[in-house]
Amino acid sequence: MVEKISNQTIISDDWTKNWQASIAVKITAVVMWVIIPFGFIIALLLVNDIKDELDVSIDNDAELLVNSARVLLWENNAYNSHQLIKELNRYLEKSIYCKITLETSGFNPSIIYANECQQKTSVIDKTYYFTTTVDNQPQEITFTLSHQPLKKIMIKQRSNVIVVMIIIVIVLGLVLTWVIRLLVLKPLLKMVDATRLISEGKHELRLYLNQSDELGHLATFLNKMLDQVFEQQKNLKHANLDLMKEVAERNRIALELRASRDQLEKLVDERTEDLAVARDDALEANKAKSLFLANMSHEIRTPLNSILGYSQLLNRDSGFTDKQLRSLKIIEDSGNNLLGLLNDILDISKIEAGKMVLNTVNFNLNELLQGLSHIFQERCSEKTLDWHANIDLSEPLIVHSDPQKIRQILINLLGNAIKFTDRGQISLNVVNLENDIYLFEVSDTGPGISPEEVDNIYNAFHQEKTGLLKGGTGLGLAITKKQLQLLNSELNVSSTIDEGSMFSFRLELKLVQGGFELRQERGMEVVRLATAGSIKTLVVDDVELSRNLLVDMLSEIDAKVASAVNGMEAIDYLSVSTADEIPDIIFMDIHMPVMNGIEAVKIIKEKYGQQIVCVAVTASAVEQSDNNYLNSGFDDYLSKPYRFEAVFECMKNNLAIAFEYKKLIETLPEKDKQSYD
């Protein structure tokens, strides 16, 4: 059989598909197929038994007839006796023999006929001999018995057997089929009807069979399965109801969420517009803050420049009394403190704006630390505190980093230690660990910091009660932490109440071999130029006090000094100057009316090139940047308020000049004596 299912061709030999009938017919057919061969086998066995019985019966009948003939002849004493023939004929009817012939000498043969033995050729004769008395005479009798051939008898018997067996097989098959139908098919048909009704949706139907066999068990299992299905359908119905409720609830929530989303989108749009406005306002406020800081820096640094500058000029005069020198020192210290506060505010603004950067150079770490040690040793003496500086470094130690940041970090930490410590000692420990890693530790015996306050001391403008009493802005540690982060380091603190505090950090400072000129003038004060009048200078500044201060400072060291109020006036001065009058160096302010410093220096550099050294002088620390000024054409820059040493160092770095010096009692300037927190 070849079947085509979908795109596949299948060859099948399933003969059951050719016989579509009910189970009852199939069982009846199977029973008949089993019983009929069995019946034929039994029939063959019966036929064989009949043949054997016929053989025995023929012999028994012959013996009976012979004995009966002998007795009848003797009793009747006559050969042709009617009684003899009648009796023999009667015996003949009961036996298988169909013909008897009696013969004796002196008498004609006596034949008893039967219908089945008419033809001689179709019979089988058996002859027996015996002696008896006939007519009172002893006679030898020949007794011949004839019967039909055994085959013919068997055919008749076989037909009867087959008919009987067919009847028996049919009856037996019907009985067996009825029994099977009663015991098997009827329950099975009940189960078929039940499953049909169940498939039509009558799940409450149950099947009960009063049988303990497999069909009964199957009915029981079917009922249990129906119970489970019914229970599952019941649960499923409840689940569907719950699901429908949940779907309805979710739909309701979805509608509410959609409405909320629409409302949220509306609010987001409104909030976005508000944020855009707030951002614009914040940008404007930030610009305003930056402008305010720039203006504040310029406006405060300009008078501070004069205060600190003239105090430095007065300090160079040896004609003052001790009282006047103390007054000058108070003025200078106050100016330095004010400058320190201003620098803190500007630094924290730079940090917030992300504008604080590193300015790395090669410097002598030992010289920086020794300078700080001299400053804070004197400050500890003023408060009767012991000063311990354990600086285990080689001399000189040239490293590459940002010396101003390191200097400010240590000044902040040491300044705090001295400010908050009233008795005991202050210590600065610096140790070279390994692989260019240096450990810095600043410790004191002050009041200590409580654990609750340790995490807050780095917040800008935050001060403890002690800090409020001592004064300051509360910015020092916040700035220090940010500066250390720029240097890839971290500030650590350990403190015990009433015992003191220790601040420490580690820095990686790469050692530099060569490329650095050691300063030989540390602790020396510039008196004058080695050759008087050898340097010609031009000071350009629109602020008279600042201009006059720098003029007086340069005149103090015997330099030739000229001045101008703005960039245009400076260019006019150069245009009318002779070759001998052209200045070697110009100190030019940035912000000036008519023509600012940047515009003026471009014109000057285009005409004179490197013949004239141009130094930018600015009071705006917010805009201060080395690259900005150098890219604009300046050779160097100074920030107001400046110290004389910075001016002289700038001149020495850019001009081939020499100074005369005198030794100072105070090794380093007082500008570093500042309190930050």
Instruction: Kindly state the average pLDDT of the residues 270-289.
Output: 77
Q: To the nearest whole percent, how much of the chain has pLDDT over 70?
A: 69
* Residue 673 resides in a domain: no
DSSP code per residue over 201-215: T-TT--------SHH
* Residue 181 resides in a domain: no
The answer to whether 640 and 621 are in contact (CB under 8 A) is no
**Average pLDDT value for the chain:** 76
Tens of pLDDT, residue by residue over 576-624, are 999 888 999 999 998 889 999 999 999 999 999 889 999 998 876 555 5
What pLDDT does 304 receive?
A: 66
Checking if the pLDDT of 17 tops 80, the result is no
DSSP code per residue over 596-663: -HHHHHHHHHHHHGGGSEEEEEES-SSS--HHHHHHTT-SEEEESS--HHHHHHHHHHHS---EEEEE
What pLDDT does 657 receive?
A: 87
CA dihedral 373, 374, 380, 381 (to 10 degrees): 150
Band of residue 504 on the pLDDT scale cut at 50, 70, 90: very high
Angle, to 10 degrees, between the axis of helix 597-608 and the axis of helix 567-576?
Answer: 20
Band of residue 569 on the pLDDT scale cut at 50, 70, 90: very high
Say if residue 389 is in the same domain as residue 445: yes
Please classify residue 252 by burial: count the beta carbons closer than 10 Å to its beta carbon, then call 0-12 exposed, 13-18 middle and 19+ buried: exposed
What pLDDT does 677 receive?
A: 39
* Residue 653 resides in a domain: yes
Tens of pLDDT, residue by residue over 381-402, are 888 999 998 887 777 788 888 8
The total domain count for the chain is 4
Say if residue 37 is in the same domain as residue 159: yes
The CATH number covering residue 610 comes to 3.40.50.2300
Checking if the pLDDT of 168 tops 80, the result is no
Domain interval for residue 471: 340-511
HEC assignment per residue over 566-600 = CHHHHHHHHHHCCCCCCCCEEEEECCCCCCCHHHH
Say if residue 40 is in the same domain as residue 123: yes
Say if residue 27 is in the same domain as residue 153: yes
Given 121, 150, 169, the domain boundary residue is: 169
Checking if the pLDDT of 67 tops 70, the result is yes
What pLDDT does 90 receive?
A: 79
Band of residue 428 on the pLDDT scale cut at 50, 70, 90: very high
Of the ranges 106-110, 392-396, 647-651, which is most confident?
A: 647-651
Checking if the pLDDT of 15 tops 50, the result is no
Band of residue 520 on the pLDDT scale cut at 50, 70, 90: very low
The CATH number covering residue 369 comes to 3.30.565.10
* Residue 260 resides in a domain: yes
Spatial separation of the C-alpha atoms in residues 305 and 550, rounded to whole Å = 10
* Residue 669 resides in a domain: no
What pLDDT does 676 receive?
A: 34
Say if residue 369 is in the same domain as residue 484: yes
Checking if the pLDDT of 667 tops 70, the result is no
What pLDDT does 426 receive?
A: 92
Tell me the sheet residues that pair with 401: 361
Given 257, 288, 309, the domain boundary residue is: 309
Nearest residue to 582 (alpha-carbon basis) of 616, 534, 537: 537
* Residue 541 resides in a domain: yes
What pLDDT does 541 receive?
A: 92
Spatial separation of the C-alpha atoms in residues 405 and 420, rounded to whole Å = 23
What pLDDT does 297 receive?
A: 64
For 572, the token pair is: 């006019």
Say if residue 109 is in the same domain as residue 208: no
Spatial separation of the C-alpha atoms in residues 163 and 173, rounded to whole Å = 15
Say if residue 51 is in the same domain as residue 121: yes
Instruction: Kindly state the average pLDDT of the residues 116-142.
Output: 74
